[in-house]
Amino acid sequence: MSVTIRDVAHKANVSVSTVSRALSAPNLVRQQTRDRVIAAADELGYRPNTAARSLITGKTGILGIVVTDLGNPFYTGILKGVQARARQDAYSVLFADGEEDPATEESLVRTMAKQVDGLVVCAPTMSDQQLRDLAELTPMVLVNRHVPEIPAVLMDSAGGMRQVVDHLAALGHERIAYLGGPRGAWSDQERRAGLLAAAERQHIGVAEFGPFPPRFDGGIQGADLALAAEVTAIVAYNDLMAFGTLSRLRSRGVRVPTDVSVVGFDDLVFSATSAPPLTTVAMPTEAAGRAAVHLLLARLAESGAGAPATAQRLDTYLIVRFTTSPPGAPVSVSAHH
């Protein structure tokens, strides 16, 4: 059927062990035989059987990634980065979608654990304890989730929020609203904390709202609340919500950014082309994917569980577009009719 190492050995007039070594530990065989083997191998189109190999080595050459919800464009960047970096080291990547359900996530991880050399798990909805248990099963690195014992790469949302607040402060805003996302999410906690801390430092007042569903409609709901709170700027948990806010503001006759500034978070593809283009914070998703794999590979290489669980932080960047400006008159909806 398929061409095996034995065929190559026969063709090159050597034993199978020699073939094996010629291909994976080049300096253990004489140059001359090695060339002969290699010639035979690719003349026959030999590709080692990965199942046989991993049976004995215990390594599969496969990495796994599980995300909470692929529907969210945010994750596709990570996925891209993971795959690109993995490919660099000739790893394949198994993919699974947790569908925002902790139970599904856990079962997915358990299944995968058997088939992969390591796993990257994105912003899981599971508990810390579940995560710790799972981490026993296979080398694992987290993305945008922090559990002390597990290595992770985190995107510095707090830092992003600091930039947002500094930007707003520089513009002269003195009272802003924060439209929060799901309380459970690590991201929301980070963003909220970052915003609050920076606001205090800058002596800016914050009206907090939420939690809202982190989607378009959440932003609509939040917009009304924020308007009533007489703020000059609205910071949304993410771009999706910011779009909802923008939409609601327009339909209520509030001009952006003249009457009120709006800022999002994530820098989705559409953020550059919304009307008006949205000021937001760019997350280095692809870089995070790469970094996660890099970290994972490093751990695999040293293979000692001895290394401490490092958490790597990636910088985020504020992208100023056209939804922020110095505040005009205090927001008063009735004034615009």
Q: Strands (DSSP E) along the chain, which ranges?
A: 62-67, 92-97, 118-122, 140-143, 152-155, 175-179, 205-209, 233-236, 261-263, 280-282, 311-314, 317-319
Kindly identify the residues of this chain, within the stretch 275-334, that bind a second copy according to CB under 8 A: 275
Q: Which residues contact 255 (CB under 8 A, 6 or more apart)?
A: 249, 336
Kindly identify the residues of this chain, within the stretch 50-89, that bind DNA according to CB under 7 A: 52-53, 55-57
Of 11, 14, 112, 158, the residue at the interface with DNA (CB under 7 A) is 14
Kindly identify the residues of this chain, within the stretch 233-272, that bind a second copy according to CB under 8 A: 243-244, 247, 250, 269-270, 272
Kindly identify the residues of this chain, within the stretch 28-47, that bind DNA according to CB under 7 A: 28-30, 32-34, 46-47
- 220 beta partners: none
Q: Is 73 in the site for a second copy (CB under 8 A)?
A: yes
Burial of 320 per CB tally in 10 Å (0-12, 13-18, 19+): middle
Alpha-carbon span 171 to 325, nearest angstrom:
6
Choice between 15 and 273, CB closer to a second copy: 273
Output the CA torsion sign for 197, 164, 173, 223.
negative
Q: Which residues contact 186 (CB under 8 A, 6 or more apart)?
A: 123, 144, 145, 146
Q: Is 49 in the site for DNA (CB under 7 A)?
A: yes
Q: How far is the CB of 62 from a second copy (least distance, A)?
A: 7
Residue 217 sits at the vertex; the CA angle it makes with 211 and 219, to the nearest 5 degrees, is 60
For 168-220, what is the HEC assignment?
HHHHCCCEEEEECCCCCCHHHHHHHHHHHHHHHHCCCEEEEECCCCCCHHHHH
Which of DNA, a second copy, none does residue 94 bind (CB under 5 to 8 Å by kind)? a second copy
Choice between 10 and 80, CB closer to a second copy: 80
Which of DNA, a second copy, none does residue 71 bind (CB under 5 to 8 Å by kind)? a second copy
Nearest CA among 218, 250, 225, 237 for reference residue 323: 250
Stretch that binds a second copy, among 25-33, 86-94, 151-159, 320-328 (CB under 8 A): 86-94
Stretch that binds DNA, among 48-56, 128-136, 178-186, 304-312 (CB under 7 A): 48-56
Choice between 14 and 291, CB closer to DNA: 14
Q: Is 310 in the site for DNA (CB under 7 A)?
A: no
- For residue 223, the tally of other CB atoms under 10 A from its CB is 29
- Pairing of the two strands 152-155 and 175-179: unpaired
Of 3, 44, 84, 333, the residue at the interface with a second copy (CB under 8 A) is 84
Kindly identify the residues of this chain, within the stretch 114-153, that bind a second copy according to CB under 8 A: 114-115
Q: How far is the CB of 35 from DNA (least distance, A)?
A: 10
Kindly identify the residues of this chain, within the stretch 149-188, that bind DNA according to CB under 7 A: none
Per DSSP, the three-state class of 136 is helix
Residues in contact with a second copy by the rule CB under 8 A:
47, 49-52, 54-55, 60, 62, 70-71, 73, 76-77, 79-80, 83-84, 87, 92-97, 111-112, 114-115, 216, 243-244, 247, 250, 269-270, 272-273, 275
